[in-house]
Amino acid sequence: MSTASQRRQWFAERPYIIAIIITLLLMLWMASGLMQAQEIPNEKSEHSVIVPKVKVETMYAKIISDTVALYGRTEPDRVTTLKAEISGKIEQVLAKRGAKVEKGQVIVKLEINDLESQLAQAKALLTQREIEHQGVLKLSADGYQGKVQVSSAAANLAAVQAQIKRLNIDIANTVIRAPFDGVLNTRYVEQGDYVQSGDDIAMIADLDPLIVRAHVSENNIGQLVVGQKAKIRLLSHENLAGQVRYIASVADDATNTFKIEIAIANNDSDLLAGLSSEVNISLDEIPAIKVSPALLALDEQGNIGVKTVEDSHVKFTAINIIKSEKDGIWLSGLGQQTDIITLGQGFVRAGDKVEAIFSKASNVNAALASKSE
């Protein structure tokens, strides 16, 4: 028997040896694969870290006026409703609805009836009472009249004097006049109407100055003072200038806002009351950068801001919105210049390392900024 046959027979009689050899080979093979698996990822990790690219634009601040934007409504400076102070028939109507009236101008006249006759009678009675009073005083001085008679005569004289005064007031009240310059907005009576004391006669509105009433939030009320200039834009697209004349000291309970009044010169009363208006009140001048609203972002706490790049890392910068325009919004809190991510900001977070690719607009803005300096 050959040596090879003897070996095969020997292994055939001892199969556990073959199993041990196979097991050892498998263990060596698995160990070598594990070593390679540990080395391969390390090699890949050194070359597989991808730095995202973002488009960045350098933007420069401009000095603008911080403003408070409000919505209001135009109203008259003052409004009054004239009422009848005596009863009577309307004798004359001397002012038309919608007409401009001056202080003291007659609006309507009531019939005087017998008031003048009553006044003449009272004046005649006054003469009698004065004579009686003088006679009683003379007799009292001579000791022929007592204090009771003197007091009675004085009371009769005072009663007639009061009656004459009342009749003069009633006669004056038959003529109803405008208490101030304004517009006769409404007239409630016509010639021939009968009115009782207290009935409405006319409503007069003073439109010079015209008032814009608006409400300011508690965040902005501390920035306003009486006398500040304001720009008003009416619904008719008319631009006007005004001045803050009143600021409420107590907030409205329902809205927690403060009422303010802005006066607008309206010498000819051409501007109407009841128009919706936009109000812009200029505050301090501050540096601000104009951006597109699409560049705004929120951080994890819900603060509004923009994403910028500093030292190749993303930074979230909180901002304040100063004012908005049709083509963008003005932001403060970004300093004199900043590198804002304009493309790709949605795919990076604060602290991420990025490769900033500056747009051509950055060079243009830089040139304009250097010229302005």
Q: Convert the pLDDT of each residue in 289-310 to its tens digit.
A: 999 888 888 888 888 889 999 8
Give me the half-sphere count of Cα atoms (radius 13 Å) on the Cβ side of residue 101: 27
Collect all residues with Cβ–Cβ distance below 8 Å to 159 and sequence separation of at least 6. Answer: 129
Q: At CB < 8 A and 24+ separation, what contacts does 321-329 make?
A: 322/64, 322/66, 322/67, 322/286, 322/288, 323/64, 323/66, 323/67, 323/69, 323/280, 324/293, 325/290, 328/290, 328/291, 328/292, 328/293, 329/290, 329/291, 329/292, 329/293, 329/296
Contact 340, 304 (CB under 8 A): no
Residue 77 has pLDDT above 90, yes or no: yes
* Rounded Cα gap, residues 329 and 291, in angstroms: 6
Collect all residues with Cβ–Cβ distance below 8 Å to 356 and sequence separation of at least 6. Answer: 53, 54, 56, 309, 312, 339
* Rounded Cα gap, residues 75 and 79, in angstroms: 9
Question: Could you say which DSSP state residue 272 is in?
Answer: P
* Rounded Cα gap, residues 312 and 302, in angstroms: 24
Q: How far is CA 31 from CA 21, 43, 255, in A?
A: 16, 19, 75
Contact 133, 160 (CB under 8 A): no
Q: What is the mean pLDDT of residues 262-268?
A: 91
* Rounded Cα gap, residues 260 and 211, in angstroms: 10
Q: What is the mean pLDDT of residues 334-353?
A: 87
pLDDT class of 371 with cuts at 50, 70, 90: very low
Angle CA 302–307–309, to nearest 5: 150
Residue 66 has pLDDT above 80, yes or no: no
- Could you tell me the end-to-end alpha-carbon distance of the chain, in angstroms, rounded to an integer? 107
Q: Convert the pLDDT of each residue in 21-43 to its tens digit.
A: 777 777 776 766 555 555 545 55
Report the chain's C-alpha Rg in angstroms.
Answer: 47
pLDDT class of 188 with cuts at 50, 70, 90: very high
Residue 185 has pLDDT above 60, yes or no: yes
* Structural domains of the chain, ranges and CATH numbers in brackets: 53-64+285-372 (2.40.420.20), 69-77+206-284 (2.40.30.170), 81-205 (2.40.50.100)
Q: What is the mean pLDDT of residues 319-341?
A: 85
Q: Which residue has the higher pLDDT, 315 or 30?
A: 315
User: Cα torsion for 33, 36, 42, 45, to the nearest 10°?
Assistant: -70
User: What's residue 33's pLDDT?
Assistant: 59
User: What's residue 350's pLDDT?
Assistant: 87
Q: What is the mean pLDDT of residues 143-157?
A: 81
* Rounded Cα gap, residues 171 and 110, in angstroms: 9
- The pLDDT > 90 percentage for the chain reads 40
- Residue 108 φ/ψ, nearest 5 degrees: -140, 160
- Range in 52-56, 93-97, 248-252, 320-324 with the lowest mean pLDDT: 320-324
User: What's residue 361's pLDDT?
Assistant: 59
